[in-house]
Amino acid sequence: MIDIIVGFDQLEAVAYHTFCQSIIDKTSEITRFTPLVLNSIANYSEKHNDASNQFIYSRFLSPYIMNFNGWVIFADGDMVCQSDIKELWSLRDNNKAVLVCKHNYETKFSTKYLGNKNENYPRKNWSSLILWNCEHPKNKILTPEFIKNATGSYLHRFSWLDDNDIGDIPLAWNWLAIEYPTNPDAKIIHYTLGTPCFQNYATTDMSEYWHSARARSQHGMEITS
């Protein structure tokens, strides 16, 4: 069983369903999806006021949601998977607290979807795809009370960990559309600047892969007037 927690924001609900569909299309192992919805997380209420989406902080509760047992993948919802998610799952390393794609770039754009600021900062986008070792002792600190009071910079830079606690995932598993060159062989395409469900990003680089997955997620639906 592969457990995946996927960021959910009602403003782009279609992104969640499209990403899940793209995983279902390719997976060779039973996969269980959990939408990360704020109102469903026990003992947590969002106190931060600088969030660009509904799961920007709650993602760090993934080990808590899993009762600090086993492993789980967290992924932003604005993605499309083009490979068997079992390949990503196989990268687990019990010596690491997390594994991430260690991006090292500066964004080309100062704003992103819905006019949100798109600032550069250390370890930008590392937290958008995380293989969590929920049982690692250092992750036990990630309780609702702790997340409520931690700053965004502290969390997104994985500051509760030492550098050697953070393992590597190849960048192909979190390929940043528009920011990075076109890559049809990317294993996961991440539409970090804006999901193609938004008009301004509907026809941007690599958007056709998202639209294809969305169409498959709607297969069999009857359109009525």
Is 36 a residue whose pLDDT tops 70?
Answer: yes
Phi, psi of 130 (to 5 degrees): -135, 130
Q: How far is residue 94's CA from residue 92's CA, in Å, rounded to a whole number? A: 7
CATH class of 2-217: alpha beta
DSSP, residue by residue, 108-142: S-SB-GGG-B----TTTTGGGEEEEETT-GGGGG-
Q: Which tens digits make up the pLDDT trace of 116-170?
A: 776 777 899 999 999 999 999 999 999 999 998 999 899 999 999 999 999 999 9
More confident residue, 18 or 107: 18
CB 11 within 8 A of CB 71: no
pLDDT(95) > 80: yes
Sign (positive or negative) of CA dihedral 101, 104, 108, 111? positive
Is 191 a residue whose pLDDT tops 80?
A: yes
pLDDT value, residue 45: 73
